[in-house]
């Protein structure tokens, strides 16, 4: 428990963190990686270069300060981050290192404004928060290892099939190299893939949603190739997987993780909304429902730029033909000539509330969505405007957690 004095001091830093939070976390990562370059094997370099990780950490530190007297308020975020940490292989011994350089960065950025009282209070608070992470992650590591078919760390899997799903998305079907059992997973969860790209000094770890149901003799991930756009560089791992990894090659992966999962005990209608590669966890949810809850009413809505970039279209349409309780709706931002000729979509442009209200048969439902951040902000705003309760709205960020 934190002392009242510590809580008061931490609370006093909230305005400062709101202004200087990103500067502090940027400096923190600079200092951390200079002193411990081996940690670059864990962190996503692309998120570092784009500033996403720095912003996400700044938001987390700010939230911790804001709710320091009610840390239970941030427990859902702690668990979400802990899932990512377990999937990446973050260990208890990493936390003192992080704490050391986080305090050093606060002092470095704030200078004399970071008094001894402030540094001592943040040191105490960090210790409490770190202990919470360590405890939760220890339980997650044990659960991942002890479950049927489970394992610790990264387990080698062999690619048994590689399937092009669209112009930019390719699926990889993988099975354990040791021939052992597969751990079950919840629809919506992800795995981490650890690759050592030839010529690269550090390993690269990326997290990809499992895109099929859990009752299969394989795992499937469906990876979008991230090509260079303007000043954004190409995705090293996605391009490497698309261009270099073939059937027979090995991919080390961690056990399934993540808390963005389908509530299979809820019998109410469910609405699955996706944009771009955000459909991968939605397809996992849909494939699971088709087998385990075939009577549950499902509305599947997907937005793509055009038909060439629309993955899993035929598979989803086949399921719809077999399940009268499933309705599907395609929204193409810029349909091509073939899309127009074949009338291959239901709406042109963007998903909006007026259209949603015409295709969702029952407002009282559970809503799950995933896609690019602007897409998710729009969907979240539409659902809230419609009056959907926040507890019925579920979403997942690909990459560092953000805010809608």
Q: Strand, coil or helix: what is 289?
A: helix
As a whole number of angstroms, the distance between CA 200 and CA 389 comes to 47
15 is in an annotated binding site: no
Nearest alpha carbon to residue 289 among 175, 402, 368, 393:
368
Q: What is the DSSP string of 90-138?
A: --TTHHHHHHHHHHHHHHHHHGGGS-HHHHHHHHHHHHHHHHHHHHHHH
Q: Residue 19 to residues 66, 96, 109, 110, 366: CA-CA distances in angstroms?
A: 14, 26, 11, 11, 37
What are the φ/ψ torsions at residue 197 (nearest 5 degrees)? Answer: -80, 130
Q: Is 380 exposed, middle or buried (0-12, 13-18, 19+ CB in 10 A)?
A: middle
399 is in an annotated binding site: yes
Work out the angle between the directed axes of helices 52-66 and 4-12 (0-180°, nearest 10).
Answer: 130
As a whole number of angstroms, the distance between CA 192 and CA 174 comes to 13
55 is in an annotated binding site: no
- The verdict on whether 95 is a catalytic residue reads yes
400 is in an annotated binding site: yes
256 is in an annotated binding site: no
- Which of 29, 95, 367, 368 does the annotation list as catalytic? 95
- Which of 137, 165, 186, 396 does the annotation list as catalytic? 137
As a whole number of angstroms, the distance between CA 62 and CA 18 comes to 7
207 is in an annotated binding site: yes
Work out whether strand 393-396 and strand 366-370 pair parallel, antiparallel, or are unpaired: parallel
Identify whether the C-beta of residue 156 lies closer than 8 Å to the C-beta of residue 177: yes
397 is in an annotated binding site: yes
Q: What is the largest CA-CA distance in the chain?
A: 70
Distance of CA 395 to the CA centre of its chain: 9
As a whole number of angstroms, the distance between CA 43 and CA 269 comes to 38
78 is in an annotated binding site: no
133 is in an annotated binding site: no
154 is in an annotated binding site: no
173 is in an annotated binding site: no
252 is in an annotated binding site: no
260 is in an annotated binding site: no
Query: Could you say which DSSP state residue 172 is in?
Result: E
Q: What is the DSSP string of 61-87?
A: HHHHHHTTT-GGGGHHHHHHHHHHHHH
Length of the chain: 404
Nearest alpha carbon to residue 184 among 265, 255, 263:
255
Identify whether the C-beta of residue 280 lies closer than 8 Å to the C-beta of residue 304: no
190 is in an annotated binding site: yes
**Residue ranges for the binding site for FAD?**
190, 206-209, 397-400
**Residue ranges for the binding site for heme b?**
85
**Residue ranges for the binding site for NADP(+)?**
276-281
- Annotated catalytic sites, by residue? 95, 137
**Residue ranges for the binding site?**
85, 190, 206-209, 276-281, 397-400
């Amino acid at each position: 428990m934190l002392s009242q004095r510590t809580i008061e001091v931490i609370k006093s830093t909230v305005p400062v963190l709101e202004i200087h939070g990103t500067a502090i976390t940027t400096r923190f990562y600079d200092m951390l990686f200079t002193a411990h370059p081996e940690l670059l094997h864990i962190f996503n370099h692309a998120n570092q270069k784009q500033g996403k990780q720095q912003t996400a950490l700044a938001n987390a530190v700010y939230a911790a300060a804001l709710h320091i007297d009610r840390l239970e308020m941030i427990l859902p975020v702690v668990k979400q981050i802990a899932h990512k940490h377990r999937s990446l292989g973050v260990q208890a011994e990493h936390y003192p290192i992080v704490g050391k350089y986080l305090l050093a960065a606060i002092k470095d950025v704030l200078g004399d404004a970071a008094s001894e009282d402030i540094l001592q209070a943040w040191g105490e608070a960090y210790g409490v928060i770190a202990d919470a992470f360590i405890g939760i992650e220890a339980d997650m590591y044990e659960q991942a290892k002890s479950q049927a078919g489970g394992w610790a760390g990264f387990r080698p899997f062999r690619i048994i099939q590689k399937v092009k799903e669209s112009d930019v998305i390719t699926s990889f079907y993988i099975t354990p190299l040791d021939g052992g059992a597969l751990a079950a997973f919840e629809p919506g969860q992800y795995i981490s893939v650890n690759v050592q790209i030839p010529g690269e000094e550090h390993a690269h770890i990326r997290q990809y949603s499992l895109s099929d149901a859990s009752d299969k003799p394989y795992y499937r991930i469906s990876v979008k190739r991230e090509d260079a756009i303007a000043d954004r560089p190409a995705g090293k791992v996605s391009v490497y997987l698309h261009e270099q990894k073939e059937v027979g090659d090995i991919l080390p992966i961690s056990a399934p993780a993540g808390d963005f999962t389908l509530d299979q005990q809820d019998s109410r209608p469910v609405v699955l909304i996706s944009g771009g590669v955000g459909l991968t966890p939605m397809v996992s949810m849909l494939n699971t429902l088709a087998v385990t809850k075939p009577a549950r009413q499902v509305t599947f809505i997907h937005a793509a730029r055009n038909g060439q970039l629309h993955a899993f279209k035929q598979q989803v349409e086949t399921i719809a033909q077999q399940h009268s309780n499933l309705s599907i709706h395609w929204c193409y931002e810029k349909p091509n000539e073939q899309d127009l000729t074949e009338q291959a979509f239901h709406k042109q442009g963007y998903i909006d509330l007026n259209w949603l209200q015409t295709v969702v048969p029952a407002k009282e439902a559970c809503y799950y969505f995933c896609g690019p951040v602007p897409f998710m902000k729009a969907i979240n705003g539409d659902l809230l405007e419609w009056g959907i309760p926040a507890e019925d709205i579920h979403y997942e960020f690909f990459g560092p957690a953000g805010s809608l």
